[in-house]
Amino acid sequence: MSINWYPGHMVKARREIEKNLKMVDMVLILLDARAPFSCRNIDLERIAGKKRIIMIFSKVDLADPNDTRKFAAQFAEEGIPVATINSLNGKGSKGVLQLVSDTFREQADKLLARGRRVRAARVMVAGVPNVGKSTFLNCLVGKKVAQTGAKPGVTRGQQWIRIRDDIELMDTPGLMWPKIENDQQGMKLALLNIVGENAYQEYEVALFLLEVLKEKKPDVLLDKLKLKDINKPNEEILYDISILRGHLLKEGRPDTAKTCKLLLQDFRKGKLGRISLD
C-alpha cells in the first residue's frame, strides 16, 4: 500500500513561511524524535536559505533514548545542531534556549563589531503537522498562547513573544508537510499521526507497527501483549491480539478493526514503551 496525501493549503503555507522567514534570525525545525529523518523536509531547509537552522527533537519522552543519541549524532555530522525536548514537562527547554543563544552569539558579535546595538534573537518554529509546534511554544512561553491540537489556521498579524531578554519567538509556527518518498516513510508518518487519517488504512499501519515491534521490540509483543508465538504472519498476530484483548464482534469473530485502532492509539501515547522508527 502506498500513502497518497495531498493536503490543501500547501502553497499558501509555504508562501507564509517564506514571508515570515524574512523577519527571523533562525529557524527551529521540530522533528519527531522517534523518526527525525522521516519528518525532515528538505524543501523547508532549502527555503530557510541562509538562516541558521536548529533541529529540535520533539516528544523525546516517547523515543528510544539510544536511537535519539544516534540520530542526534548523525545530524551533528552534517553540521546541524540538535536539542531534544519533552514539551509536556519542559525537560530540555534550558538546553534549547542555550543552543539558541549560542547560535545567535556569532550574529550578535557581528552587530557589535559594526557598532550596532544587539537586539534579541528572532526565532521561528517550524515543522510538519502534529509534531508538537504549539505545545513547544507554550512550553517555552510558560503559558497557553499558541493553540494546540487545532487545525492549521490562517496567520493573523505577526506577534513576537519574548522568552528571555535575548530571545523572541514568532507566535505563528511554520507548517510544512513532509514529502513522502517511499511507503516505509509513509507508514512511519501515519503511525506518528503526522499524515491525515483519511490517507491511510489503519489495518495496514497496524501491520507495519507489528513488523516494527517484531524487529525492534519483540518483548513488547511477548510480555506486554502476552503473545505466545510471534513467528507467524502479522495478520495472524493481529488476530491473536484481538482474541487476547477480547475484541470480538457479536458473532464471536475477532474485531481486528478495533484492535488496529487501539494498537495505534497505544503506540502514539507511548503505552507500548519508548519506540523509535527511523
Contacts with ligand GDP, residue ranges (CB under 6 A)? 58-59, 61-62, 86-88, 127, 129-135, 148-149
Residue 93 in contact with Mg ion, rule: CB under 5 A: no
Q: Which does 68 bind (CB under 5 to 8 A by kind): ligand GDP, Mg ion, none?
A: none
Q: Residues with Cβ < 8 Å from 111, sequence gap 6 or more?
A: 117, 118, 119
* CB of 92 vs ligand GDP, minimal distance in Å: 9
Residue 58 interacting with Mg ion (CB under 5 A): no
Kindly indicate which of the ranges 49-57, 128-136, 251-259, 261-269 contains the residues binding Mg ion, using the contact rule CB under 5 A. 128-136
Angle of helix 202-216 relative to helix 256-269, nearest 10 degrees, comes to: 60
The CA radius of gyration of the chain, in Å to the nearest whole number, is 21
Check residue 172 for interaction with Mg ion (CB under 5 A): no
Q: Which does 185 bind (CB under 5 to 8 A by kind): Mg ion, ligand GDP, none?
A: none
Give the Cα separation of 116 and 75 in Å (integer). 33
Applying CB under 5 A, which part among 2-10, 132-140, 182-190, 212-220 lies near Mg ion?
Answer: 132-140
Helices (H), the chain: 10-21, 36-39, 42-47, 65-77, 93-113, 133-141, 183-191, 202-216, 218-219, 234-245, 256-269
Size of the site for Mg ion (CB under 5 A): 1
- The smaller minimum CB distance to Mg ion, of residues 146 and 262, is found at 146
Minimum distance, C-beta of residue 146 to ligand GDP, in the bound complex (Å): 7
**How do strand 121-127 and strand 167-170 relate by DSSP bridges?**
parallel
Nearest CB to ligand GDP, comparing residues 51 and 91: 91
Alpha carbon of 196 to those of 6, 53, 59, 167, 178: distances in Å? 10, 27, 19, 33, 11
Smallest distance from Mg ion to CB 129, Å: 8
Stretch that binds Mg ion, among 42-50, 133-141, 154-162, 268-276 (CB under 5 A): 133-141
Q: 184, 205, 130, 122: which is closest to 158 by C-alpha?
A: 122
State the minimum distance, in angstroms, from the CB of residue 221 to ligand GDP: 22
Q: Does the protein bind Mg ion through residue 84 (CB under 5 A)?
A: no
- Give the contacts of 19 (CB within 8 A, at least 6 positions apart): none
Closest of 209, 244, 206 to residue 228, by C-alpha: 244
Q: How far is the CB of 240 from ligand GDP (least distance, A)?
A: 28
* Contacts with Mg ion, residue ranges (CB under 5 A): 134
